[in-house]
Structure 1
Amino acid sequence: MRIPEETVERIRQAADILEVVGDFVSLKKRGSNYTACCPFHNEKSPSFNVNPSRQIYKCFGCGKAGDAVKFVMDIENIGYGEALRYLAKKYGIEIEEQEQTPEDLLRQNERESLLIVLNFAKTFFQETLLQTDEGKSIGLSYFRERGFTNPTIEAFDLGYSLDQWDALLQEGSRRGYSRDLLEKAGLILSKENNKTFDRFRGRVMFPIHNVSGRVIAFGARILKADKTQPKYLNSPETTVYHKSQVLYGIFQAKQAIRQEDVCYLTEGYTDVISLHQAGIKNVVASSGTSLTTEQIRLIARFTPNVTILYDGDAAGIKAALRGLDMVLEEGLNLRLLLLPDGEDPDSYVHKVGADAFKLYIRNHSKDFIDFKASQWLAEAGDNPLKRAEGISDVCASITRIPDPLKRQTLSQRVAQVFHVSEQSVISEINRLLRQQQDQRQKEAERQRDRNNRQQPAGGNPEPDASLEEINALLNGLSVDMPPDEAAAPPRPSLAATARTPLSFQEEECIRLLMNYGARELEPGITLCQYVLSELHEIEFQTSPYDLMLTLYREAYSRGEILLAHDFLNRNPAVVPNASAADMQHQAINLTTPRYEISDGWEKHEIFVPSEEEVKILAEAAWKNVLRIKKMLAEQRMVTLQQQLREVSSKTPEEADQLMTEFMHFKRIDMQISSLLGTVISG
């Protein structure tokens, strides 16, 4: 179904960029804007910028940029329509969709279809739990035994799958969902004999949500004693579900993680649910997988502080140690807590209550140095070799930390804990760092050798990505565009060819028009009027600046001056739909300054001239126009010189005409050089 344009505009107007981005990333105020570490690429220093006044975001590291709709598309890897529906739901906007044409249906994103069918399955399992005799007597009874209340069951969308071969398949078919789609979503299985049946049967269901709250998979626990069946069964990997990138409970926990500025990491579904019900809501689980780098980076969107809560048995200690170095490597601050032997977070919070559990965390959680040291010292006793092995092991973890200042501080801590000199600890850390660097160099050399062996003789290796994909990455644009845009042929990209000096001046001209077009340089003369009159009949040569200049001219002929928001909001009355995304991206680049003047300058009475001052702005516009004209004159001179070299094929009259024209542009070039103060004319 197609969303009417009026509804799209209502969604865009309602969506606040700070609220939308804040659902996925912890933002910090810097001047008039907000910053964070970019959620689209791995970085330690924040280069992701959100501008609330213009309602846009931009990463100066990877180039990703856009408005609230584009952010949802990028962060969730979904299509334009699905992003609009997400925002409509968030802001309570009802969508009365229009009937789609056959062409629209063909463009329907498979990812969106899978999310829809997974949501159907979630609802089906919920209704089965609460409305069927089997669901209430088996599934609901189990949840009650675990102490889960109705609000908790509702918050986590818990459900139950009937102990029947094809209950979900039959209901899905009745609702119009194809078997192929149900199978791609991981909900049904097909055997070679054409036998098709439900994947989940006779199990309590734990839906797995992504950060935005969409169900992307299921975990399921069997309740009857059947040694032929695994106790827990999870959805397979699909287009929408990659288990290494997902944390169970992240949707329910993200706000609490941000508020508490710490994330508690556990192992199981019921650990998360029980702690959440007890009021400890900043908790997630790796849900049956070993902790991964992607999961750690997901936590880092909301807080730099992680406390691992694992069982106190040998398996819990092993799991905690396994994830320790990975957390440190991502630059997060880590603490670890082992519960009393025989207890897990679920059982212990039920045993002692929420307040006592929080107190236990506060009193017994350790930083990774104390945690590792306690394990090694208990094992080493009076054995000096074991103590040395323990010191080396702790130092190896410190080398994982990217911040040198942190490494220096922690080396002092290791020396105190193991009662050795700080210099010996620093020497060991440096030795391990050199060893790691040598290993990386050797691996790089081996990789180069492998690449050389694989490269065909006399040829170049095949590219890993298409030119369109490379250009999309360079421009920070997603290849997944709204339907109307996806059908249009791509415009030439600035990144596709080397930039000419003229292209930078054309870009500067559009930047001035976009930011200051309506400003008066003198009474009655706006910057837009001045620039357009000076560039009369001059056409830009770089896309999309040529089209943007045309749009400014057309608007000015109607008595209007285009503003930045016309491009940022993709105003359909101004911006052609086929070029809207490209021009929006360019508008973000041209209106988002990377740096801001510090308040400290004014505090110390150091005043930096602002471009917004009329005198400075007028000079900037004047010089920009002169440089464009100068470069066009130089271009024409180069063409005339080439034609003069072919003088043998021309009559004397034609040669004289070419020379006269060349000298004309040479005089223009010299005059402009003089005005600009250029010593040597090109």
Structure 2
Amino acid sequence: MISQNSIAQVFETARVEEVIGDFVQLKKAGTNYKGLSPFSEERSPSFVVSPVKQIWKDFSSGKGGNAVTFLMEHEHFTYPEAIKYLAKKYNIEIEETERTDEERAQADNRESLYLVSEYASSYFQNVLHKTNPGKAIGLSYFKERGFTEETIKKFDLGYSLDEWQGFTDDALGKGYKLNFLEQTGLTIVKGEKRFDRFKGRVMFPIHSMSGRVLGFGGRILTNDKKAAKYLNSPESEIYHKSKILYGLYHAKQTIAKEDNCYLVEGYTDVIQFHQTGITNVVSSSGTALSPDQIRLINRLTNNITVLFDGDAAGIRASIRGIDLILEQGVNVKICTFPDGEDPDSFSKSNTLEELTAYLEGNAKDFIQFKASLLVKEANNDPIKKAETIREIVNSIAKIPDQIKREIYIQECARIMDISENVLFTTLAQINNKQAQDNNKPKSYTSSSSSDPNEPPFEVFRNEEPSRKPKVDIQYELEKKIIEILMLYGDRTEQFEDLILQEDETSGELLLEPTKHEARVFEKVYLDLQEDEMQFSNPQFKALYYSIIDKLNQEEGFLTKNFINQLDQDAASTVTSILMEDERYNLHDWERNLIIPKEKKDSVSQLVSQTILSLRCHLIDQKVAEYKNETLKENVDLRVIMEDVKDYVGLKMLLSRKLGKVLG
């Protein structure tokens, strides 16, 4: 167990914007930061991080919380794992008792797979550095590739002995279960036989975005034609090839900082680039590029530069990957290396300055690259040239942004020496066909793209509008009270109360204003007590009494400390409440001499309006109850109507104070 003192130190030190910034590209938006949701596919940022409140909210998925809950949601960490991750990040020593074999056995299946993978990584590194076969074979291979000792350790490179059960026997001897060795794919089990999957291979551990070992890539060092040159871990509960990028753990910070990601094909390409000094580089690990992998990069940057070697056949086969990147709304450039060179060999034979200059000088926009490649293939054949143009327009059609599509059409017209109108018409035809295939209404990109024989628009029958869900007024008001207490509960404000008095002359009830000073939480508590108002939502009720208790007992109430002490469900609720306004927060308006009034500048008014609104709502509920009473037999309607009259009169007074017009 981790000590409470260590947990408190982690919460005190960790900065939510720094923690999330390792996984999501955040941009300043007033006092907050915004970015693309890491939990859903979106093109407009709705992920908000508040450094002041030390919380985050993802409005696309509804998730939210603090730095720890982010790690639990994003990396699927357990609570202790998230605390340990933050402790490591901020160099905090944590006090805990060592886990016993029995506690390890009780860990859930997923955690067991992580433990086995992390042990395997340590084992392969130990074999590489501390055994004679590891040094003679594995280490020699890496040194021949030009990798330094520092690079080998940075990427946790290792070696698997050329023995049928070397790793498996060692792992079983350390108490790891065969079931988990098989699930991770480290051990292959056939009946009574068991043997190492990566026998006689140099090992490349594949890390998650947070640095956990998910799986491995292994390269064979012999000329065995029957064996695959590279072998990856099979799919498992923790390893999904299409959702992982090799090197992302080491590259994420530089990708966000440089606002660009270099995409290569192999493990050694990534490692050699890092060693040369370019660290914003990742690899799809020999698998076909997937939308999930592109979205991983898109969390950190909207710019990808794809690096190809000089093999023309390989380049042609990889063009599909470019279209996939365009489909995700990401900007893409392509850079090819001279014939016979690849990213690994080229970076090894050039200095950082030379490599940087080459990349900057030879990275082409996708349309320039594709046009130059396909024009060479067309070789002045008119039919092939027409096919080339259509293929380029097909790629442009995949871009979701209409402005970008139009600009690329203009660029294509210039490069291919063809009319823009022809290209716009072709683009419209492609879009219309796609819309029909998807059973969607036709879309026309621009007036210049329309076929004169086709209608400029189609008329569709209006469907019956769906009814919006009815707003639960009491729920919203109770939520507002929680927000007020969390944000301003310990502030002292001037309040204007209304005392109900009877006019001596007319006998009418009047509201006489009186001013007094009070702390916000005391004002809220006393007003609710006076009217015997109770929360209808059980979670809000529990939070209300917990907040009141904290404010009563502690000086200097801190929102982030309170949230850190709540369970995950309650913390998520509080975060959602506090971040709701941030979704529509105005910022940078002062520069244009527009000064929006902030909520904190009128707290007393906000408190009074919320309490008065709740009172009016409860009066409406009481009147509705009386209405139901009149439907019963043997009731005194005269008494009921007198009570209703009194309640309606009271609501009129309260509404006058609220500034509402009643029908």
TM-score, length basis structure 1: 0.85
Q: 1:352 and 1:434, CA in 2 relative to 1: closer, same or farther beyond 3 A?
A: same
CA distance in structure 1 between the aligned counterparts of 2:441 and 2:245, rounded to whole angstroms:
32
> Which consecutive unaligned segments of at least 5 residues does structure 2 have?
443-468, 495-515
**Corresponding position of 1:260:** 258
**Corresponding position of 1:549:** 544
**Corresponding position of 2:630:** 644
1:434-449 correspondence runs (5 A)? 434-441=432-439
1:396 paired to 2:394? yes
Q: 1:562 and 1:106, CA in 2 relative to 1: closer, same or farther beyond 3 A?
A: farther
Q: Classify the secondary structure of the residue corresponding to 1:221.
A: strand
Q: Is the 8 A contact 1:263 1:303 kept in 2?
A: yes
Q: Classify the secondary structure of the residue corresponding to 2:286.
A: coil
Q: 1:268 and 1:79, CA in 2 relative to 1: closer, same or farther beyond 3 A?
A: same
Q: Is the 8 A contact 1:517 1:563 kept in 2?
A: no
Q: Is the 8 A contact 1:567 1:584 kept in 2?
A: no
Task: Report the CA distance between 1:540 and its aligned residue.
Answer: 0.9
Q: 1:316 and 1:544, CA in 2 relative to 1: closer, same or farther beyond 3 A?
A: same
Q: 1:103 and 1:668, CA in 2 relative to 1: closer, same or farther beyond 3 A?
A: farther
Q: 1:630 and 1:335, CA in 2 relative to 1: closer, same or farther beyond 3 A?
A: same
Aligned-partner residue type, residue 273 of structure 1: I
**Corresponding position of 2:478:** 506
1:609 paired to 2:604? no
Moved more, 514-523 or 212-221: 514-523
Q: Is the 8 A contact 2:483 2:578 kept in 1?
A: no
Counterpart among 613, 621, 635 of residue 635 in structure 1:
621
Aligned-partner residue type, residue 290 of structure 1: A
Task: Report the CA distance between 1:498 and its aligned residue.
Answer: 6.6
Per-residue deviation, residues 606-647 of structure 1 (Å, max 9, x unmatched): 43333222xx33222222111111111211222222122112
1:667 paired to 2:649? yes
Q: Is the 8 A contact 1:568 1:588 kept in 2?
A: no
CA distance in structure 2 between the aligned counterparts of 1:188 and 1:125, rounded to whole angstroms:
14
Q: 1:627 and 1:524, CA in 2 relative to 1: closer, same or farther beyond 3 A?
A: closer
1:420 paired to 2:418? yes
Q: 1:354 and 1:607, CA in 2 relative to 1: closer, same or farther beyond 3 A?
A: closer
Task: Report the CA distance between 1:269 and its aligned residue.
Answer: 0.9
Q: Is the 8 A contact 2:57 2:576 kept in 1?
A: no
Per-residue deviation, residues 223-278 of structure 1 (Å, max 9, x unmatched): 11222322211101111110001111111222222333221111111111112112
**Corresponding position of 2:164:** 165
Moved more, 662-671 or 266-275: 662-671
TM-score, length basis structure 2: 0.87
Q: Classify the secondary structure of the residue corresponding to 2:439.
A: helix
CA distance in structure 2 between the aligned counterparts of 1:122 and 1:172, rounded to whole angstroms:
12
Per-residue deviation, residues 532-557 of structure 1 (Å, max 9, x unmatched): 11111311112322122222443455
Task: Report the CA distance between 1:583 and its aligned residue.
Answer: 4.3
Q: 1:539 and 1:105, CA in 2 relative to 1: closer, same or farther beyond 3 A?
A: farther
Aligned-partner residue type, residue 607 of structure 1: I
Task: Report the CA distance between 1:563 and its aligned residue.
Answer: 4.9
Q: Classify the secondary structure of the residue corresponding to 1:189.
A: strand
CA distance in structure 2 between the aligned counterparts of 1:386 and 1:639, rounded to whole angstroms:
79
1:333 paired to 2:319? no
1:36-55 correspondence runs (5 A)? 36-55=35-54
Counterpart among 314, 317, 320 of residue 319 in structure 1:
317
Moved more, 355-364 or 140-149: 355-364
Counterpart among 518, 529, 532 of residue 490 in structure 2:
518
Q: Is the 8 A contact 1:552 1:561 kept in 2?
A: no
Aligned-partner residue type, residue 527 of structure 2: E
1:624 paired to 2:610? yes
CA distance in structure 1 between the aligned counterparts of 2:226 and 2:554, rounded to whole angstroms:
78
**Corresponding position of 1:32:** 31
Q: How many pairs align? A: 614
1:36-115 correspondence runs (5 A)? 36-98=35-97, 108-115=107-114
CA distance in structure 1 between the aligned counterparts of 2:473 and 2:358, rounded to whole angstroms:
65
Aligned-partner residue type, residue 340 of structure 1: P
**Corresponding position of 2:585:** 596
Q: Classify the secondary structure of the residue corresponding to 1:227.
A: coil
CA distance in structure 2 between the aligned counterparts of 1:25 and 1:566, rounded to whole angstroms:
24
**Corresponding position of 1:292:** 290
Q: Is the 8 A contact 2:58 2:64 kept in 1?
A: yes
**Corresponding position of 2:178:** 179
1:245 paired to 2:243? yes
Q: 1:578 and 1:215, CA in 2 relative to 1: closer, same or farther beyond 3 A?
A: closer
Aligned-partner residue type, residue 584 of structure 2: Y
Q: Is the 8 A contact 1:128 1:162 kept in 2?
A: yes
CA distance in structure 2 between the aligned counterparts of 1:506 and 1:101, rounded to whole angstroms:
46
Q: 1:103 and 1:175, CA in 2 relative to 1: closer, same or farther beyond 3 A?
A: closer
**Corresponding position of 1:472:** none
Task: Report the CA distance between 1:373 and its aligned residue.
Answer: 1.1
Aligned-partner residue type, residue 638 of structure 1: A
Identity %: 41
Q: Where do 4+ consecutive residues of structure 1 move more than 6 Å?
A: 99-107
CA distance in structure 2 between the aligned counterparts of 1:382 and 1:427, rounded to whole angstroms:
23
1:527 paired to 2:515? no
Aligned-partner residue type, residue 244 of structure 1: S
> Which consecutive unaligned segments of at least 5 residues does structure 1 have?
445-496
Q: Is the 8 A contact 2:263 2:304 kept in 1?
A: yes
Q: Classify the secondary structure of the residue corresponding to 1:599.
A: coil
Task: Report the CA distance between 1:174 and its aligned residue.
Answer: 2.0
Q: Is the 8 A contact 2:435 2:441 kept in 1?
A: no
